[in-house]
Each structure stands twice: as C-alpha cells, then as structure tokens.
Amino acid sequence: MPFSKIFLVILISVMTLTACSSVGHNDILKASEDIQGSYINENNLSQSLYVTKWWETINDQTLNDNVTVLLNQNLALKEAGERIIQNNERIAQANSSFFPNLTASTTGSRSFQNTGAQGIAGDFGNARFYNTNYNPGLQSSWEIDLFGRIRNSTNAAQSSFIASQFDKEALTQSLIAQLVNIRVNIETHKTLLEIAQEIAYNRSQVYDLVKRRYDLGLESIKLSTVYLAEDRMKTAQSEIYQYETLLSSSLYAYDILLGQKPGTTNHKSLNLDLNQNLPAVSTCLPAALIDMRPDLKAARARVNASGYNVKVAMADLYPSLNLSAALGFSGNETKNLFTAEQLAGSILGSLTSSIFQGGRIKSTIRIRESEAREISYNYAGQILEAISDVENFLKAKHNVTNEIIDIEQSIFALKRSEDLIYNRYIQGIETLQNVLDARQSLLIAQQRKTLKQQEKWHSHVGLILALGGNWFDNNNSCDKDNTLNPKEENSDEK
C-alpha cells in the first residue's frame, strides 16, 4: 500500500477515535456558566461608584501606606510570585519539545593486540599492534508532533501559568481585605477597651456606694447586694484584660501581614473613624462574576489545563514519529581528523506505535477525563459559592446597617435619659445609684454599636472581595450591560 494511503488511514482513525472519546467536562462548563437573572438582594444595593483602589476611599492615609508595604513585603505574596516563575519555566520546558535536540560528543580510544601468530610449537610473538581512534561528532533527534501531544502539553503549561497569575491576584485581594479587616478590629478593640474601662470605673463607683451604705447600716442594703455589686465590678475589670489581649493579637496579625516582626506597630499610631460613611460598591450581575473574580478565573484556567491533559493522554494512542541524525569524524590521529575523507554521517526515521500495554493507555485517558470532570464540578461549585458570597454580604450589610440605626436611636434616648436623671440628681430628686445605672446602660449600648460597626465594615469589605472588586485598574470594572440599576439603600450611607 502506498505511504499516502497509509497516512490517510491513520488520520481517519485518529479523527474517529477523537470524536468517540468525549471528555464531557465541556457540558459541565456550559451549564455552570449559564447564569441568568440578578441578585435576590439587589434592592439593598447602593449607588455604584467605580474606584481604582477602593481602600484609598477610606479616610486613613496610614492604611494606604501599609497596603503598599504589604504588596512589597508580604511573604505569602512572595511565595505566590515564585510559583508564577516556576510555571513560566514549565512553559519553556514544554516549548523546548517543539525543537530538535542537538548534542555534541567526542570519544577517544586506544587498544592493542599481539601481532605474533601461534606456531606449531604453540609460542606467541612478543610484538604488539596499537590502534588509536578519535570520534568527535554531533547527534540530533526530533519528535514530530503529529497528534498534538507536545502542543497540548504546552497549552496545559500555559493554562497553569495563567492560573498561578490569577491565584496571586486573588491572594493579593484577600490579603488587602484581611489588612483592612484587622485594621477595623484594632480600632474596634481600642474603642471597646476604652468603654470597658469606663464600665469598670462605673461598676467600682456602684460598689463603693453600695458598700458605704451597707457599712452605714442601711436596712435596704443586704450583704448579698454588696457581693453582687462586687461581682459586677470584677467582671467588668476582667473584660479589660480580654480586650487588651484581643488588641494585642490584632496588632501582631497586622505586623505579620506587613512582613514585620510582631510588636512593631503601636496602636497609638493607628486611628480610624468607624463612624465614617462607607463608599458605595460597584455591583455587577451574577454572570459577570466569572470575569471579575480572579479566583474563578484561576479555576477556569485549571479546567482548561485539565482538558489539554486529556488530549496529551489520548496522543499516546497514536504513533510517534522521530527523526534522528548524526554527523562526525573518525580517524586514528588528530592531524587530519577534520577533513572530508574522515567525515561520516547518518539519518534515521522511526515510526513507533504501541500495540499492547494491557489497557494502561486507555486507563490513563479515563483517569484524565475523570480529573477534568472533577475540576469542572469544582469550578461550577465555586461559581455558586461566589454568588452565595455576594448575596450573604449584601444581606448582612443591609441588616447590620438597620441594626446600627436602631442602636443609635437607643443611644440618643439613653443620653436624654441620663441627662434627665442627672439633672434630677442635682436637684436632689434622684439617687446617685440611678445616675450610675443610667450611665451603665448608655455604655453598654455604645459597646453594642461598636460591635455592629465592626460587622458593617467586615460586610462591606467582604462584599468588595466577593465581587472581585475594582482593585488595580479600571479594566476590571463591570461592563455597562452587566451593571444593575442601583437603588437607594435605607442606611446612613445616603
């Protein structure tokens, strides 16, 4: 059979086998990326505002400077950068298979043998014949990529490289969000510590008052009342230690994110207004998350890599074509070694195909296909989780905003009550006990507000992170077609 017909038979077989061996993960991708509709909690969205670096909208220059330090010194980011370098080198390794291998070698040998012939008497001559041989040369081999094994290996390496780049971007976003959240925690714990100190002082005043009345022999004051007042005072004092510990832990975590020794940052150098209005967040339709969130883009790149790995495994079913050539010189002395008379060479082509390996190749293909489906299912799950993250943070931010409004109204009422009771105390109508109790209620309400402000900040930062955010350039902004029509939020951010 002519070679052209043989090649045509092989090509048709390849196309048939390729069509019959469907990976199946593409159907999973189409289903997972077909996202319709908008967010359930879209009524809680505020006016869109596109920013390049959202943290710069927070009124804290120290935070902006610390973000710069984080980007330059954080150890986890340096690790991610090294992974990008490694994956880039794997691309170079895969690309090298497209080119012939060229090696150079030289050998030299010297041998001898006796020149005497064995006679009738069985004796040998004593003379020896020496042979010297030199063989410098070049050897080359080249695998022809007939069925895409090398090409798909390169594509898989490129997809892994892209995934590592998006991984670093996602890590960067996560670390900045952590930095902002810890910065909020530091301010929260500072405020709670100050309130706890006021509460402890107030409790001590109540205790002193109760004990003094008991010592004076007032019948209305029981010994159990003194013990109860003392217990409340000690409990309040213990909360001071609790908030001091939380403040120290937050400061240490802050330093670690900045790549610094824990204990470097002094809380007195950090000041953040938790009451400031938070900037609005640019919110896209759910389908846009696939193009906005770097973690989803990294997962998508891994899906692509798994698809290429399937094709690499399938290429082992088909013959491999290798060409090799050698060129060199051979002689018994170096004087005239590199001349045309001493030149020798060869060219060889080989077509190799696996006939029987006990099902190993097909089993490998099935494994690669299963891995591709597994990665695709994981990607589909990440998309659902991403949508859930946005919904959760939208709902949480809306609810905590309403809670803060209620608490602020409560604080306003408690302040008026405290002023009224104090004025009545000055007039001799109310007791000091009632004044201290009113002050205690106000401090507890301020404590609740501080904790809810912390929740609001965390929800705000979490929403930005869940949306992929407009982090470093405006190219990450939502397309106008994918942007929801914003509605005003019933909050203090108006």
Q: pLDDT for 325-339, tens place per residue?
A: 998 888 777 777 788
Could you give the residue range(s) of every CATH 1.20.1600.10 domain in the chain?
Answer: 22-96+151-315+363-482
Could you give the residue range(s) of every CATH 2.20.200.10 domain in the chain?
Answer: 99-114+127-144+319-352
DSSP 156: H
CA distance 466 to 460: 10
| Each residue's pLDDT tens digit, 164-213 | 999 999 999 999 999 999 999 999 999 999 999 999 998 898 889 888 88
Q: Confirm if 345 and 327 have CB atoms less than 8 A apart.
A: yes
Q: Sign (positive/negative) of CA torsion 84, 30, 285, 277?
A: negative
Pairing verdict, β 128-144 and 320-329: antiparallel
Binned at pLDDT 50, 70 and 90, residue 248 comes out as very high
CA distance 390 to 42: 10
Range of lowest pLDDT (170-174, 200-204, 372-376, 422-426): 422-426
Q: Which residue has the higher pLDDT, 181 or 24?
A: 181
Instruction: Please say if the pLDDT value at position 19 is more than 50.
Output: no
The CATH topology of domain 99-114+127-144+319-352 is Outer membrane efflux proteins (OEP) (2.20.200)
CA distance 15 to 396: 54
Instruction: Please say if the pLDDT value at position 273 is more than 60.
Output: yes
pLDDT of residue 219: 75
Q: Tokens standing for 32? A: 């997972």
Alpha-carbon distances of 347 from 322, 329, 344, rounded to whole Å? 11, 15, 11
Q: Confirm if 229 and 211 have CB atoms less than 8 A apart.
A: yes
- Alpha helices by DSSP H, listed for 322-426, are 360-426
User: Mean pLDDT across the chain, nearest whole number?
Assistant: 81
Instruction: Please say if the pLDDT value at position 359 is more than 50.
Output: yes
Binned at pLDDT 50, 70 and 90, residue 126 comes out as low
Instruction: Please say if the pLDDT value at position 441 is more than 80.
Output: yes
Q: What percent of the chain has pLDDT over 90?
A: 40
What are the E-state strand segments in 180-319?
none
In DSSP terms, 139 is beta-bridged to 103, 326
Angle at which helix 61-73 crosses helix 75-96, to 10 degrees, equals 40
Instruction: Please say if the pLDDT value at position 399 is more than 90.
Output: yes
∠ at Cα 171 (170, 177), nearest 5°? 90
- Alpha helices by DSSP H, listed for 25-132, are 25-33, 61-73, 75-96
CA distance 258 to 55: 16
Instruction: Please say if the pLDDT value at position 18 is more than 60.
Output: no
Residues whose CB falls within 8 Å of the CB of residue 456, separated by 6 or more in sequence, listed in order: 278, 397, 400, 401, 404
Using DSSP's 3-state secondary structure scheme, residue 242 falls into helix
First to last CA, the chain: 82
CA distance 205 to 196: 14
Instruction: Please say if the pLDDT value at position 267 is more than 80.
Output: yes
Instruction: Please say if the pLDDT value at position 492 is more than 50.
Output: no
| Each residue's pLDDT tens digit, 102-119 | 999 888 888 877 765 554
Looking at residues 72-98, what average pLDDT do you find?
A: 93
Instruction: Please say if the pLDDT value at position 481 is more than 60.
Output: no
Pick the CATH number of 22-96+151-315+363-482 from 4.10.93.10, 1.20.1600.10, 3.90.226.10, 3.40.50.300: 1.20.1600.10
